[in-house]
Amino acid sequence: MEGLGVLINALGGNEDSVKVFKEALGKKIEKLCLKDNKLQFGMEGGQELDLVDDGQSCCEQRYFTTDDDLDYFVGATLMGGEVRDAPSIDDEYGEHNVNFLVITTSKGCFTIEAHNEHNGYYGGFWIIAKKGGEIEDEE
């Protein structure tokens, strides 16, 4: 069962998200980082793109993780992305949900795990693309 936040967002549609993501396709990735539970892209031409899970309902904790070396993909061309089902992970409430966000580039694919820890009454994912804020350089 999907959570209330996911259902509300689904009813609103995702046309803006699709448009923002399509604008980045075919462009070179100049910066890439996973920060503040967002996958942030800095694209050629100055475009900033954030991918986030925007399905938040109360009593949930949502976050992204990855085991991939994102620095390897800087300089690659963004070619696509998709959300895939993943197995749930056992936790103190029974289990929490996970989805894979798979990004395809000219250097291959990398995978972001989208986690949603909840008390059993919520769940679901709503991964969206939006114009991002400026990515700070690592010191």
Tens-digit pLDDT profile for residues 90-114: 666 666 778 889 999 999 999 999 8
User: Is residue 119 in a domain?
Assistant: yes
User: Mean of the per-residue pLDDT values for the chain?
Assistant: 79
30-33-38 Cα angle (round to 5): 125
**Phi/psi-derived region of residue 80, left when phi > 0, alpha when psi is between -120 and 50, beta in every other case:** left
CB burial of residue 91 (10 Å; 0-12, 13-18, 19+): exposed
* Spatial CA neighbour of 33 closest among 2, 64, 1: 64
Number of domains within the chain: 1
User: Is residue 138 in a domain?
Assistant: no
User: Is residue 56 in a domain?
Assistant: yes
User: Is residue 19 in a domain?
Assistant: yes
Higher pLDDT, 27 or 132: 27
Q: Which domain range does residue 69 map to?
A: 4-131
User: Is residue 120 in a domain?
Assistant: yes
User: Is residue 137 in a domain?
Assistant: no
Confidence (pTM):
0.79
Task: Give whole-number Cα distances, 119 to 9, 99, 131, in Å.
Answer: 20, 17, 31
pLDDT at residue 84 tops 90 = no
User: Is residue 91 in a domain?
Assistant: yes
User: Is residue 46 in a domain?
Assistant: yes
